[in-house]
Amino acid sequence: MVNLMSKVVKKNILVLVEGAKTDVKVMEKLFNIYEIDAKYKIVSYCTNIYTLYQEMFRDGIDGLEDMDILQVLKAREKNIEKKKIFDKRYTDILLIFDLDPQDPQFVPENIKLMQDYFCESSDMGKLYLNYPMIEAFYHLSSIPDDEYFSRKVKLKELQDKKYKFRVQQESMGNDYRKFAASKDLCNIIILQNLTKAIFLATGKSIKWKDIVVNANLIELVDSNFILEKQLFHLKNDKFIYVLCTCVFYIIEYNPNLLLS
């Protein structure tokens, strides 16, 4: 008799994050709270998405078929031991980066190209853009937060480097270490970000509790449409909506972790 369980390949996940502190802590919190049953490695890229663009897309999309992001990462890593991380095989590659529209290297067409290319975690990798940055995870004054749906950040605020301070002042409890310490609280954070993402992608306004009743609503989340809408507001209104998308991997990994 064939042991079907022996054929199940356990996931081995590489999580590439932008920074060495907040990004790592957020992803570790999510993986720990939801008890992700997979091997995973969180690696800090230690620079922003626009550097990654230069390293992978400086010649456009030509030649990308022969390019392996793991080898690109290995080539830029100076630590011999860390280089070995990129020699391993991974079932999924997650790219957790900030939009950072205030960055001098920000070019809308470049970021759209990257969002379109990095669309599958089990292939070339999947890009999760946080708007404007990873601190969006903490930008709730309560859980749930009725104001989160309409929460925005002005471009001027980002240019003046005031957004992180604002989050620290407005975040529930003003202490990231104690923020959303339970699965129930994290569930609500994910659901509130999903409802906001659905609105940006489709224009439909729903309540976060609607997703619990109808999980099919999650399929309305489209990263490319979200980016287009955010870039539209950035160009015309000089703001973007605060949105944390890296939390969506939890429901993509296993919807039952959130909806059961």
Neighbours of 41 (CB within 10 A): 13
pLDDT at 200: 98
Per-residue pLDDT of the chain (260 residues; tens, 9 = 90+): 334 433 456 899 999 999 999 999 999 999 999 999 899 999 999 999 999 999 888 777 766 767 789 999 999 899 899 899 999 999 999 999 999 999 999 999 999 999 999 999 999 999 999 999 999 999 999 999 999 999 999 999 999 999 999 999 999 999 999 999 999 999 999 999 999 999 999 999 999 999 998 989 999 999 999 999 999 999 999 999 999 999 999 999 999 998 86
Pairing assessment for the beta strands 125-130 and 119-120 based on DSSP bridges: antiparallel
**Contact assessment for residue 138 and residue 176, using Cβ atoms and an 8 Å cutoff:** yes
**Contact assessment for residue 137 and residue 24, using Cβ atoms and an 8 Å cutoff:** no
